[in-house]
Chain A
Amino acid sequence: MSEIVKTEPFVMNIGPQHPSTHGVFRVKVTVDGEQITDAEMVIGYLHRSMEKLAEERTYTQNIPFTDRTDYLSSMSNNLGYCLAVEKLGGLSVPARGQAIRVIMAELQRLASHCMGAGAFANDTGAWQTPVMWFNRERERILDIFEMTSGARLTCNYMRIGGVAFELRSGFEEAVRNLLPRLQQTIADGQELLAENEIFIARARDVAVVSPETAIGASLTGPMLRGSGVAWDIRKADPYSGYEKYDFQIPIGYKGDAYDRFTVRLEEMRQSIKIVEQALDDLPGGPHSTEVPLAFRPPAGEAYARIESPRGELGYYLISDGGPSPFRFHIRPPSLINLSVLKEMTVGASVADAIIALGSVDIVVGEIDR
């Protein structure tokens, strides 16, 4: 329509109260007809100044903060923070603790990708059904978290030097019962969404990010892998014993929204593989090393990073030898993945912009911190 008739350009707010912004996130778009000519994101509605607050608390007290940044993958956040502190203090984690951490992080990745894939399908207009199907399985994973740590969403399970508690009896059986169900759900998602004609028509060739742009814009995680760049911290810089497990990196073909979706589905399959391997040879021994509650690492700095469900989650800590960090910085993958929002949306229609935003899979708690 806008090809034929020049309409008034007008500014439209997508968010902060909008069904598809996944939180209080706002994009100010200038629209010409249905076509977007400019997009500017407005964030900060959920800013809680965690980096400042963390400078007041001891290293152990800061673990609950990390739950609340990316509230859909609290286990991964705990893990990243604990790795950074351990690197700072030169601590080592017993083998059992490392394996438990891997199991938890991969289950968390499954839960988070369930949410991401379901919400993306919702953005394409599949009205609530995929999101409910994926959420059903996510709930089962959260049941396992509740069984282990007592909490479902903000688990606070990892500790400096290991994990908080030993696994409950029946944990292994519960996870082993869950994994086939998850396989089935992923197969359903593959069959009913990834091979659905309408879904393909909507998601393919939309929000294309070329590999050069993706690397230059510091993208990580499924965004980078969707563009065909083979980069996964678990492979490139293994932590917590990931080098022991056999898994592969899924990468996309073209870097469009469809590639990101299929990469997420494939990552879920790989995660199931990792969890199975970790369960198969779960070592015995202690789950944690003894670390004093007011832990004082020596003065210095450390940057530790993990592959969180959304990308590279880095924690940069500076210690002055005191009981609380001198500087506590989170490298938020959700925020930095949004660097290409303008490239993805300008020139597209409003409907495609929603798809582009959904394919980034943002969590506003992590963007704003």
Chain B
Amino acid sequence: MSTRWWSSTEFAEFLSKLVPDSISRVEENACYLVPEKLVEAMMALRDDADSNFVHLTNLCAADYWDKFEVIYHIQSLEKNCIASVKVEVLDRENPVLPSVTSVWHGAWLQECEAYDLYGIRFENHPNLTRILLWEGYPGWPLRKDFLTMPGGLQPGLNEFAGTAAKPEPPVHTVE
């Protein structure tokens, strides 16, 4: 007996019946939700008896140079199944997402952490503060463009599958 992972197609089919128009696109790994419908969809997934995703296992963000993704791993303890849900944040200057703390209290600290390291603001979060770094720390350290290394090298690799347009890395000049 082991945990059943919901495939993205199965998940999309289920969710589109539950909350229509909440899915933006379906990929091989995961299903992408519409940010406006995020809280409603999550609430429905938690409360529906067939899905019963009562436990938010993991919440983290990732930076793909041109966009952010926030990844939710939600699971059901009764049915022993888990699903991966993603949301895209396209606005790099002012990334905003609705908070899911009203659905799962456990998102509190994880959203704070994502805000602290990526700068993604979660709306309606009860107390969105930086937790690991101090208030007023310049920049968002886990973003890919946060630091440039000497010699023009950048953290991470310069190629990523599926990223067509990549912002030109700023050139580091040594005086």
B-binding residues in A (CB < 8 A): 43-44, 47, 49, 51-52, 55-56, 213, 215-219, 229, 231, 235-238, 243, 299-301, 303, 305, 312, 314, 316, 318, 320-322, 324, 326-327, 329, 331, 335-336, 338-340, 368-369
Contact = CB atoms under 8 A, between A and B. Distances in A.
Interface residues of B, number: 39
A223 B172 CA distance: 48
Given A237-B2, A237-B80, 17 more contacts: A43-B132, A52-B141, A217-B106, A217-B108, A218-B55, A218-B56, A229-B77, A235-B1, A236-B2, A236-B3, A238-B2, A299-B160, A300-B29, A320-B156, A336-B106, A336-B109, A338-B109
Contacts, number: 108
Contact of A231 (B1, B71, B77, B108): B77
B141 A216 contact: no
Interface stretch (B14-22, B31-39, B57-65, B87-95): B57-65
7 contacts: A43-B132, A44-B133, A217-B105, A243-B2, A320-B160, A320-B161, A322-B157
B84 interface: yes
A219 B109 contact: no
Given A237-B3, A316-B60, A218 B141 contact: no
A219 B142 contact: no
Given A43-B131, A316-B71, A338-B109, A56 B155 contact: yes
Contacts of A56: 155
Nearest to A302: B29
Nearest to B134: A44
B104 interface: yes
A339 B108 contact: yes
A331 B161 contact: no
Given A44-B134, A52-B141, A314 B58 contact: yes
A264 to B, nearest CB: 20
Contacts of A216: 54, 104-106
B73 interface: yes
Interface string B117-132: 1000000000000011
B110 interface: yes
Max chain A C-beta neighbours (<10 A), residue from B57, B58, B80, B131: B58
A56 B155 CA distance: 6
B23 interface: no
B12 interface: no
Q: Is chain A's binding surface mostly helix, strand, loop or mixed? A: mixed
B134 A331 contact: no
Nearest to A322: B157
Contact of B157 (A217, A218, A326): A326
A243 B2 CA distance: 9
Nearest to A233: B3
Nearest to A218: B106
Given A55-B155, A336-B109, A303 B58 contact: yes
B42 interface: no
Contacts of B131: 43-44
A231 B108 CA distance: 22
A320 B163 CA distance: 11
Contact of B54 (A47, A215, A235, A299): A215
B45 interface: no
Contacts of A369: 132
Contacts of B41: none
A98 B55 CA distance: 29
B159 interface: yes
Nearest to B71: A316
A335 B141 contact: no
Nearest to B156: A55
